[in-house]
A and B are shown apart, each in its own frame.
Chain A
Amino acid sequence: MSHADPEAQRGTKPALGAYFIVPLLACGLTLYFLISTWNLIWEARSTGTFIGVILLGLCIAQFVRLGLKVARGEASLGLGDLVEDTLYNRQRLALLVLTGVFIAALPLTGTTVGLFLVIIAMTRLMGVRDWRVLVALAFLAAATVHLLLIYALGSKLPQGLFKSLFSFGGG
């Protein structure tokens, strides 16, 4: 497990804390399922219980394995490069926030305008400085989506306030 770890390459102990995240999430979902379906009839519970019990067993085995490595001093409980303050992690976080804002603002901006703006913001964030390139790329992508999905295929993608204004204007 430690071969490709940056910590291992630097000669420090591999940080295995992040390896607990996925099994912890899985255990959380399983326990939530088991507790919230406790009062239901057996048909509704059986599959989830069957899978959940196996999953809990697998997660416990994984915890024991990782825990033993930490206990033997071969690894630490740190989160490693997953949370390090690096340029890439900052970019990732910013892209995540931008995508979140894009989704949240979609009913307001509409797909075409929202897409145009978010592509400009994301591409700028990735280091592209030329405004002509930024605008051209965003326009091309937004226009393609509008023509292909909204116009040709009649997708119900949100069209935002602009559409509402046009409908109002058009009576």
Chain B
Amino acid sequence: MEVSSAMLFEAFLRSIALWWIIIPGMLLGIVVGILPGFSAQNTLIILLPLTLYLPVETGMAFMISLYCTTQLGGGIPAILFNMPGEGGAVATTLDGYPMTKKGQGQQALVLCFAASAFGGIVTTLTTMAMLPMLAKIGLYFRSVEMVVVIVFGLTLIAAIASKDLLSGLVAGFAGLMIGTVGVDPVFGTPRATFGMLELYDGVPLIPTLIGLFAISEAFVMLEEETIVRKEDLEKAKNAKWSETLEGLYMNARYWWQTVWTSLIGLIIGILPGAGATVAAFLAYHYSKLMSKTPELYGTGHPPGVIAPESANNGVTSGTLVPVFALGIPGGTTGAIMTIVLTYHGIILGPRLFIEHADLVYAVYMQMLVCYLLMALMILPLARYMSRVVLIPTRFLVPLILSLVTIAAFSERSYVFDMGLALFFGVVGYIARKTRYEVTAMLIGVLMGPLFEQYFLRAMRVGQGDLMILFSSPLANVLWLMVIAALALPYWRSRKQKGVLAQAVEAGHES
């Protein structure tokens, strides 16, 4: 089937006609994104009977709109309460929450929404233009390269999120170690489970996220009257529409950053398993690296919100590429969409572009329509949601503590997970107080099982020889990038100290 502009236009019109299913999908996606414990994947699984019942294009429109807006929704609690609703929003806390504390929560939300929508539009259009070519990227990343990608991601996170690299690495590798708890993937032998049956499947992610971020943050938060600092409270209370528009202006000012960081998300999205979290941190890292003012990152700097948000939405376009082109889902969301498409008799893989090219492009058009609708929702959503942070902490802390404890139950329906969240809450609080970055720890836990999967596969190929990890040119390039990520912060601080010393010396001489 030939791809023509008439076909694309028709697909666009068909997608707009599906507004009645796209808008509920978007609203549900925002709620799912905000609530920790409710992932897009789980919601899609719950709603599978509905999507299977609907015609294929309508079902896909619902799933796509829910999936895309979940990434946006995850950024809302990350910015307002320092509690990412989704893994992909963890990097957003680094600058989003400091902006809220400065009374700029509204601007931060506009930045988040605009970067998500704009980044999503850019990557959707790019994917449509380059779909057959992009599909081949995933083929170059085998187990060895994926091991290095994960190590690279973790090193970046330790270097970015932590003020101190060694403490960041301790936290990150501690997280990876926690990720190895549970039965081994080959023979099912329990490892480091402390005799608890509930840990046989590994340390569950949602209670860990809730404990490390939400519970520990509630313990920190209680020392303040409100989340917004006292000196910025009046500014936050009297926020005007002009300030909402200021967020849009900031986004327009950094438009190029939105474009290239969303493309990072697209490429990471194509790789199996890497996902929105790695993409957001990579984008944040490179945004900081390229910036003329890297010292402002982490203090509430707008590009620090734009980079991760555009990247995590860029991932959504990439996720579907291996599904369509190879018939291999890169993650759970891709797998659910594969199930729905296969149920409707669609054969995925290279032949899809010949037999059902209209469907492939219709799905991307639905994504485009979803992002366009998202752009319209930016201003009112940001304006009214940002008011939540004005609620005094004497009400917020009890609500957060009790409700997130309940959310910890949602993933596996074990009361045990609520206790686990509380345990990680205490660990997270101590880690925050002693400056071990909880973000690095969480990403370690998140990446642990994936790391084991690829590491084991690589070791089997290399018959137990660790040198297999240095056996491919692409992996070696990635190793060099790991070394650069480790050395660069050290080199930068040395350089800064040198400049400072020179300035002091010059001051003495004059």
Contact = CB atoms under 8 A, between A and B. Distances in A.
Contact of B394 (A21, A33, A127): A127
Given A82-B433, A99-B422, A126-B394, A55 B222 contact: no
Contacts of A92: 219, 222, 429
B170 A59 contact: yes
Nearest to A145: B406
Contact of A22 (B171, B176, B191, B393): B171
A119 B436 CA distance: 30
B170 A51 contact: no
Contacts of B422: 96, 99-100, 103
B490 to A, nearest CB: 14
Interface in B449-465: 451-452, 455-456, 459-460, 464
A22 B398 contact: no
A54 B401 contact: no
Contacts of B452: 47
Contacts of A32: 192, 194
A46 to B, nearest CB: 6
B398 A123 contact: yes
A29 B182 CA distance: 13
Contact of A18 (B173, B410, B430): B430
A30 B431 contact: no
B187 A43 contact: yes
Contact of A118 (B173, B194, B402, B460): B402
Interface string B406-425: 10011001010011001001
B177 interface: yes
A164 interface: no
Nearest to A93: B219
Contacts of B186: 43-44
B406 A62 contact: no
Contact of A61 (B166, B395, B401, B456): B166
A156 interface: yes
Given A88-B222, A126-B222, A149 B180 contact: no
B426 A96 contact: yes
A95 B426 CA distance: 11
Given A62-B166, A100-B422, A157 B434 contact: no
Interface in B369-414: 393-395, 397-399, 401-403, 405-406, 409-410, 413
Nearest to A158: B415
Interface in A24-69: 25-26, 29-30, 32-33, 36-37, 40-48, 50-52, 54-55, 58-59, 61-62, 65
B169 interface: yes
Nearest to A39: B189
Interface in B158-191: 164, 166-167, 169-171, 173-174, 176-178, 180-181, 184, 186-187, 189, 191
Contacts of A48: 177, 180, 191-192
Contact of B402 (A26, A29, A122, A153): A122
A33 B177 contact: yes
Contacts of A30: 177
B427 interface: yes
Contact of A51 (B180, B187, B435): B180
B231 interface: no
B395 A99 contact: no
A23 B170 contact: yes
A128 B222 CA distance: 13
Interface string A78-116: 000110000010011001100110110011000100010
A55 B191 CA distance: 17
A48 to B, nearest CB: 4
Contacts of A82: 430, 433-434
A123 B396 CA distance: 9
A104 to B, nearest CB: 8
A167 interface: no
B191 A119 contact: no
Nearest to B43: A153
Contacts of B460: 43
Nearest to A21: B430
B398 A126 contact: yes
A141 interface: yes
A123 B169 CA distance: 37
Given A42-B464, A103-B419, A128 B406 contact: no
Contacts of A126: 222, 393-395, 397-398
B223 interface: yes
Nearest to B38: A153
A153 B20 CA distance: 22
A22 B222 contact: no
Contacts of B429: 92
Contacts of B223: 88
Interface centre among A43, A82, A149 (most CB of B within 10 A): A43
Contacts of A65: 166
A75 to B, nearest CB: 12
Contacts of A70: none
A139 interface: no
A102 B431 CA distance: 24
Contacts of B184: 40, 43-44
A55 B170 contact: yes
A26 B430 contact: no
B434 A141 contact: no
Candidate in A22, A37, A48, A52 with the most chain B CB atoms within 10 angstroms? A22
A141 B403 CA distance: 8
A145 B219 CA distance: 23
Nearest to A125: B398
A1 interface: yes
A29 B178 contact: yes
16 contacts: A1-B435, A22-B434, A43-B184, A46-B456, A51-B176, A58-B173, A62-B166, A91-B222, A99-B215, A115-B406, A119-B402, A126-B393, A141-B399, A153-B46, A155-B409, A157-B406
Given A45-B191, A96-B422, 10 more contacts: A18-B433, A30-B177, A36-B191, A51-B180, A58-B170, A82-B434, A100-B419, A118-B398, A123-B394, A155-B410
Nearest 8 interchain pairs by C-beta: A122-B398, A44-B184, A26-B174, A126-B394, A55-B173, A48-B180, A47-B452, A33-B192
